[in-house]
């Protein structure tokens, strides 16, 4: 091998070393970019869920574990129904209102109104006629062949729910967050209804 060839080989060594270093760095750079993309996607997913319209997360029909209470949520509107209230067959006490955000996955019921739904089949004609008469405790909100709906006035609410601020009695928390809604848990946290929080499970979507 001539001196010229030796010099050429020596000159080429740094270039060969750079090529080797570049080959070694490529996998590291690739994984670095890949990890960054994964973190971006995960972070974006979490941020998207947090920023997702809060009321839509609990949209649908939910039922309490003991089947006594049913919550229907659609948009910002909600309805909480207690069937056979105080063991009165055919008498359903209904709270309605609008959701306001109380934190991430926390919901407060505001602008609460109170109704009573009376199944006519469970009451005598005389009792229904009496309820239909004008009263300062309630007004007739709706009536069908099978059901009479009464809306309580402020005076009526004070009489049947003394000392209670209805805008502070419905506070819900969504837990066990899961892509499958049936696995999520919704809890009613209110001493107004129970000394312990009441668990709700997802039942179905709202009917359109």
Handedness of CA 131, 134, 137, 140 (dihedral sign): positive
Which residues lie closer than 8 Å to 54 by C-beta, 6 or more apart?
Answer: 99, 101, 105, 107
pLDDT at 74 over 50: yes
Contact 155, 165 (CB under 8 A): no
What band does 208 get if pLDDT is binned at 50, 70 and 90?
low
Confidence of residue 179 (pLDDT cuts 50, 70, 90): confident
**183 confidence band (pLDDT: 50, 70, 90):** confident
The per-residue pLDDT for range 121-171, each reduced to its tens digit, is 999 999 999 999 989 999 999 999 999 999 999 999 988 877 778 999 999
- List the chain domain ranges: 1-51, 54-204
Whether 89 shows a pLDDT value over 70: the answer reads: yes
Confidence at residue 34, expressed as pLDDT on a 0 to 100 scale: 54
Alpha helix (H) residue ranges in 52-183: 125-132, 154-160
CB 172 within 8 A of CB 102: no
Average pLDDT over residues 31-41: 54
Tokens of 139: 């007004």
Q: What does DSSP say about strands 77-82 and 91-103: parallel, antiparallel, or unpaired?
A: antiparallel
Cα torsion angle, 178, 169, 207, 202, sign? positive
Confidence of residue 14 (pLDDT cuts 50, 70, 90): very low
Q: Per-residue confidence at 204, pLDDT binned at 50, 70, 90?
A: confident
pTM of the model: 0.73
Q: Which tokens in the block code for residue 118? A: 């009376």
Q: Are 61 and 40 in contact (CB under 8 A)?
A: no
Q: Which of 30-39, 67-76, 191-200 has the lowest mean pLDDT?
A: 30-39
Query: How many Å apart are CA 26 and CA 29, to the nearest integer?
Result: 5
The secondary structure of 4-31 as a DSSP string is: HHHHHHHHHHHHHHHHHHHHHHHHHHHH
Length of the chain as a residue count? 208
Q: What pLDDT is attached to residue 164?
A: 76
Query: What are the start-end ranges of the H helices in 140-207?
Result: 154-160
Count Cα neighbours of 60 within 13 Å in the Cβ-side half-sphere. Answer: 16
User: What is the pLDDT, as a whole number, of residue 196?
Assistant: 92
Cβ-based neighbour number of residue 189 at 10 Å = 14
């Amino acid at each position: 091998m001539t001196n010229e060839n030796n010099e050429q080989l020596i000159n080429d060594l740094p270039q060969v070393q750079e090529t080797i270093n570049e080959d070694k760095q490529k996998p590291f750079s690739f994984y670095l970019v890949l990890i960054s993309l994964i973190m971006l996607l995960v972070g974006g997913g979490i941020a998207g869920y947090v920023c997702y319209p809060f009321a839509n997360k609990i949209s649908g029909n939910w039922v309490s574990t003991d089947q006594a209470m049913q919550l229907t949520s659609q948009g910002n509107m909600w309805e909480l129904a207690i069937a056979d209230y105080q063991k009165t067959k055919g008498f359903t006490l209904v709270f309605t209102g609008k959701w306001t955000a109380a934190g991430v996955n926390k919901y407060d019921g505001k602008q609460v109104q109170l109704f009573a739904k009376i199944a006519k089949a469970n009451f005598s004609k005389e009792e229904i006629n009496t309820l239909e008469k004008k009263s300062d405790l309630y007004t007739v909100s709706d009536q069908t062949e099978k059901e009479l709906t009464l809306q309580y006035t402020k005076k009526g609410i004070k009489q049947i729910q003394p000392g209670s601020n209805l805008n502070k009695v419905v506070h819900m928390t969504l837990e066990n967050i899961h892509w499958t809604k049936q696995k999520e848990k919704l809890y009613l946290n209110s001493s107004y209804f129970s000394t312990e929080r009441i668990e709700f499970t997802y039942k179905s979507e709202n009917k359109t």
